[in-house]
Amino acid sequence: MSRIIISVVGKNDVGMAANICTYLAESNINILDITQTIVKEIFDMMMIVDIAKSPKSFDEIAREMDELGQRIGASIRCQREEIFTSMHRI
């Protein structure tokens, strides 16, 4: 399994989660865990996804997610799970 952490923050608008989930489905990326909240019109979502079956590389996914974020008015960051875990280990 090759997992990445995706974090999304932006002004809430119709279809934000749908746009992101559509990209993931079209890229054959499986959502393992997801949390999403809206606080005072700020959309915040974090996902753990499995990219093992995707034909795309991590770098390609990260770049395309960044481009998607620009189109929908959100900041989308992708991090490899092992790097995310090491950075947050105390």
- CATH classification of the domain holding 66: 3.30.70.260
For range 11-27, the mean pLDDT: 97
> Residue 90's pLDDT is what?
61
**What does the DSSP 8-state code read for residue 26?**
H
Mean pLDDT, residues 32-36 taken together: 98
User: Residue 25 — pLDDT band, cuts 50, 70, 90?
Assistant: very high
Domain that holds residue 7: 1-86
Beta strands 3-11 and 42-50 are antiparallel
Instruction: Give the pTM.
Output: 0.89
Confidence of residue 88 (pLDDT cuts 50, 70, 90): low
pLDDT at 89: 66
Cα separation, 4 vs 67, in Å, equals: 17
Number of structural domains, the chain?
A: 1
Cα 77 from chain centroid (whole Å): 6
